[in-house]
Amino acid sequence: MTDADTARPEALFPLFAELETLPGVGPKAAQAFAGLGVERPKDLLYLLPHSGVDRALRASVRDVIPPATLTVEVTVGQHVPPRRKGGPYRVHVRDERLEFQLVFFHARAEYLQKLLPTGQRRLVSGKVEFFDGLAQIVHPDHILRVEEAAEIPAYEPVYPLVAGLTQRLVAKAVAGALTRLPVLVEWIDRGLMAREGWPDWALALQTAHVPTTAAAIAPTDPARLRLAYDELFAHQLMLSIARASVRRGKGVATVGDGALRAGVLANLPYAPTTAQLRAVGEISADMAAPLRMNRLLQGDVGSGKTLVAFLALLIAVEAGGQGVMMAPTELLARQHFEGLAPLARLAGVRLELLTGRDRGADRAMKLEDLGAGRIPLLVGTHAVFQKDVAFHDLRLAVVDEQHRFGVAQRLELGSKGAAVDVLVMTATPIPRSLALATHGDMDVSVLDEKPAGRKPIRTALVSTDRLDEVIAHLRKAVAEGRQAYWVCPLVEDSEVVDYASAEARFRSLRAALGEKVAIVHGQMPPADKDSAMARFVAGEVQVLVATTVIEVGVNVPNATIMVIEQAETFGLAQLHQLRGRVGRGEAASTCLLLYQAPLSETGARRLSTIRDTEDGFRIAEEDLAMRGAGDLIGTAQSGLPRFRVADLERQGALMALAQSDARRLLADDPGLTSPRGKAARALLWLMNQERALRLMSVG
């Protein structure tokens, strides 16, 4: 691929000029536009109006029901200056059937007399309201001579604004950008366009910016749908190119003989679910192919991801290679190690743990064994990324907790072995549309069944007025030898917010239940945190008061009670993750959601969703509907694309369509050299995704 192939197409040059080349835009306005993410004329094309104002000409005030926007032709009558300083300046006007007033504050009399000469006809447009039984328009939006009527559109688009911009300025700049639309070859499949009834690109932009009715501003309008599809298609094309470039990396076919896996499965005390077997099948097919695997294993709390990951690691060992499992924290790495150890014993395979704590001779010995291939399976934190860690023949890397590892880390990990297959595990169920947006470069396996024998968790909503009853219930449970988590929202008392703090709750539970209560929170030294957790795991402590530190991955089968205080302040996904800490053993488990009455409408909706279902995917869809995509993953670390027209919450099906279309185009035309492929290159430039073209040129 030549430089010419990655260069910006010449037809797009006018859309990449400076903003100041547009009518009405000076340096100050250009700076203000940056606040809307608009830096070039092409960005203005996608700054669509969010609403509109009906300014169709009416015969009289009587034709609308105030308050409403009115455009009407009037004869100007008497001017009544203010009686006192700062008072209203009134101008009497008359339409065909009624007299009313135009009202101005802080206005200069001579300016208004020039603008509205008594006895002349003018066109006025603005919001008409009743005041003391009289109709009036305060500061009309437009006052024009009758012959200038064409300057007011019958339906006026309303654009998003920031300080330093006005509607008029934005509309003028947009109109300027629209005159620069080049003639481009269509990048959307013609059959798809015909089936959906979408207009071509230039017409879609013109229609979206010059709406004639409120329906034209709805996301379901064909022009808007087409523009939303362009964004989603460009994004999916970029991810598909990234995926192709990873897969182009020389893969190694890793084929196991199944002996180690059979040994483990034969000796398990339970049968794997169909979903687990299906996922292992998908992974082994990927590993056997000569392309690099890049797969996401998505499973709800307790769906059995650990077993699937372990069987995948055994495929690497059966083929004579090595496997590594990585976790974001030392605590989780240790837990994975403890969880995998019994499985490794069943398989008769050596498993070691490598974290930042390993020092000196111990670490040196592990590294030597690893380099010589004597350690087939390793569990570690990102200490595994360090330069001195070398494997003999690394075939598979399993990464836990997806959102801590972005695309960049996935690529860095891939460079550890000649062609490491990557399997990413996440316990956060992600709605399909979001999974496509954030992991569209990966193939996805979903564990959508719970292993047999997992008992449902009884979830109840309890008002904080009944705190004493809850503590009495807890005292009884502790006496029976059961263990409980008590989760609080904040660490210390804050004067601003009346949150129960973990420290205060710890003291009150200590007083009520005695020495069996411990505390962990994010501000404790790591060693203290680990020791409190270890005592809880060992059963020396029966009640663990915690902040959300325990959200991810802690496994204590004997813990059967989860109390979440001020549950209404937590997000749905967080509540679901916290509840998943119980219900891991034989005994029936309970989750109590303590809330402070009265609950807001969203608070009530959130808590009843958690009470009514344990299906993480349903909960995630509801969370997406309530909070929106950015909040759901936490915008700062979400890697979520910023779409201007497309709406991830409501257009998941459009995203799925864009993904299959993008993958099909690349399969048919890997170099994007066909006419449609070249058109798609222009789209990538328009949508700021041109870095994907550099990925293609590297391959």
- Quick: pLDDT tens for 265-292: 998 888 898 999 999 999 999 999 888 8
pLDDT of 629 strictly over 50:
no
Do the beta carbons of residue 563 and residue 519 sit within 8 Å? no
Contact 380, 324 (CB under 8 A): yes
Which domains, ranges and CATH numbers included, belong to the chain? 56-152 (2.40.50.140), 259-447 (3.40.50.300), 457-613 (3.40.50.300)
Give the whole-angstrom CA distance, residue 338 versus residue 347.
15
Tell me the three state secondary structure of residue 383: helix
Over residues 160-169, the pLDDT tens digits come to 988 889 888 9
- The H or E element containing residue 483 is strand 483-487
Between 376 and 619, name the one with better pLDDT.
376
| Overall average pLDDT of the 647-655 stretch | 78
| Segment (H or E) for 684 | helix 675-686
pLDDT one-digit tens code per residue, 502-526: 788 899 999 999 889 998 877 778 7
Across the chain, mean pLDDT equals: 84
179: DSSP letter: T
Average the pLDDT over 409-417 and give the result: 51
From the list 595, 547, 590, the residue with the least C-alpha distance to 567 is: 595
Closest CA to 392 of 413, 409, 369: 369
What 3-state DSSP class applies to 459?
Answer: strand
Q: What whole-number distance in Å separates Cα of residue 460 and Cα of residue 458?
A: 7
What pLDDT shows up at residue 413?
Answer: 54
627 versus 251: the higher-pLDDT residue is 251
Spatial distance between the Cα atoms of 94 and 72, rounded to a whole number of angstroms: 10
Residue 554 structure tokens? 């802690």
Residue 64 exposed, middle or buried by CB count within 10 Å (0-12, 13-18, 19+): middle
546-599 residue pLDDT tens:
876 664 456 777 889 999 998 888 878 788 888 888 887 778 899 999 998 888
pTM over 0.85: no
Least confident piece of the model among 16-20, 335-339, 625-629: 625-629
What tokens were used for 684? 């990538």
Burial class (CB in 10 A: 0-12, 13-18, 19+), 60: middle
